[in-house]
Amino acid sequence: MTTQAEPDFQHRTVLLDEAVDALAINGARADGVYVDGTFGRGGHSRKLLANLGAGGRLIAFDKDPQAIATAQQITDPRFEIVHDSFATMTAALTERGLTQVDGVLLDLGISSPQVDDATRGFSFRLDGPLDMRMDTTRGQSAAQWLATATEQNIEKVVRDYGEERFAFQVAKAIVTRRSVAPISSTRQLAQIVASAVKTREKGKDPATRTFQAIRIFINQELEDLEIVLDQAFRLLAPEGRLAVISFHSLEDRIVKRFLAGKANVPQPDRRLPIRAVDLPQPEMRLVAKLKPSDAEVAANPRARSAILRVAQRLPASVSVSPSNNQSGRAARTGRSAP
């Protein structure tokens, strides 16, 4: 079973080996079912396929039509791509007869090809249409939203998703400018923000936080992340692993709190007459927290803010009824039970 080599898309997959190794694909688990929630340009997926056994299966998700086109070049029969948000993971796997998986990998944020393509509207350094949609086939573009959103709503988005302390000034400048002419390009928005942000962080463009905020809002990134974390946990088989790479504090905070909530359960007062067997038990074990090496950051500066968090579902957190014991493996692989 062979996979195609990763083409040159001017994209370096961050924490490639570390993320795939974190899923511990070995032994019987090599023939399990895995999910790549963010295909991107396929770096992680191709590495996962190289580690899977002949009976393994990989389901990947992505909202970007260009990513889907790249994924469709992979002819490996163990691989399938789903053109949708990873927030639809449970429904998509159910449609395929899958109720459990052995590992889930999420590489959050946007890819270098998306940033470097001016027509996508993600970059304030390149002039292009103000789009910012990861899925250009559906939803509202950034330009459309900015044309109708209230000043208060713009301020809230820029403050909450960009952590911009000049959110009020940015929102006011946007509303003032659009009353004169529509804001339709990335350069126009960057210039408006630059006029409103009076002090800049060293090494950062004044538009950085506002562009991040609008992109996150337009694509519902944080809402989808909260949804997929819960779905991934519920789908994981006993000993299954979840690996998440985040690139900014808002994402990492959500991931960190979710995993901590599953791994650290509050214990009742020791003086209460509660049997040990009835005490709340952790549902996950925190496995690792990793950052890119100095060498990787030197080769790919965009990796510098990445954080990989890994957790494993504990067997005690999964109750398997006798009627499901025989069919459990079949449900995970999509094959008939013997």
Is residue 319 one of the residues assigned to a domain? yes
- pLDDT for the residue numbered 6: 40
pLDDT in tens, 30-78: 999 999 999 999 999 999 999 999 999 999 999 999 999 999 999 999 9
Place of tokens 């997959």: 13
Rounded to two decimals, what is the model's pTM? 0.86
Q: How many CB atoms lie within 10 A of CB 6?
A: 17
Q: Say whether both 86 and 176 belong to one domain.
A: no
Q: Say whether both 65 and 198 belong to one domain.
A: no
For residue 11, report the phi and psi dihedrals to the nearest 5 degrees.
Answer: -135, 130
Q: Say whether both 250 and 329 belong to one domain.
A: yes
- Please tell me whether 217 is known to bind a ligand: no
Radius of gyration of the chain (CA): 22
Segments forming the whole domain that contains residue 173: 136-218
Question: Worst-scoring range by mean pLDDT, 45-54, 100-109, 265-274, 293-302?
Answer: 265-274
- Please tell me whether 44 is known to bind a ligand: yes
Angle, to 10 degrees, between the axis of helix 208-218 and the axis of helix 186-196? 130
Q: Say whether both 315 and 229 belong to one domain.
A: yes
Choose among 9, 84, 87, 3: nearest CA to 45: 3
- Please tell me whether 56 is known to bind a ligand: no
- Please tell me whether 42 is known to bind a ligand: yes
- Please tell me whether 86 is known to bind a ligand: yes
Number of domain units in the chain: 2
Give how far Cα 302 sits from Cα of 15, 120, 164, 230, Å: 11, 18, 21, 28
Q: Say whether both 255 and 207 belong to one domain.
A: no
Checking if the pLDDT of 255 tops 50, the result is: yes
Place of tokens 């009076």: 198
Q: Alpha helix locations (H) across 123-267?
A: 142-148, 151-162, 167-178, 186-196, 208-218, 221-235, 249-263
Task: Using pLDDT thresholds of 50, 70 and 90, give the confidence band for residue 111.
Answer: confident
Checking if the pLDDT of 273 tops 90, the result is: no
pLDDT in tens, 139-154: 999 999 999 999 999 9
